[in-house]
Amino acid sequence: MSSCAFINFISLLACEIAKDKSQEELALLATFFTQLGDTLATLSALNNS
């Protein structure tokens, strides 16, 4: 998958997840996925050391 296709997929996925969610739910989901991404990045960095 090309980088542009991957970006488009992520954007489409975000739009689908956001459907029918309240502002509070969206904020919680954003926080959840940010922490998940940060934790995965930390694990990756530790595994590459």
pLDDT for 49 beyond 80:
no
Within-domain flag for 17: no
Is residue 9 within 8 Å of residue 1, measured between CB atoms? Answer: yes
Let me know if residue 40 belongs to a domain: yes
Q: Is residue 15 part of a domain?
A: no
Q: What is the per-residue pLDDT across 34-45, written as a single tens digit (0 to 9) for each? A: 999 999 999 999
Phi, psi of 42 (to 5 degrees): -65, -45
Does the residue 39 lie in any domain?
Answer: yes
pLDDT tens-digit readout, 3-36: 999 999 999 999 999 999 999 999 999 999 999 9
Q: Is residue 16 assigned to a domain?
A: no
Going by pLDDT thresholds of 50, 70 and 90, the confidence category of residue 1 is: confident
Give the chain's domain count. 1
Range of the domain at 32: 22-49
> What predicted TM-score, i.e. pTM, was given to this entire model?
0.79
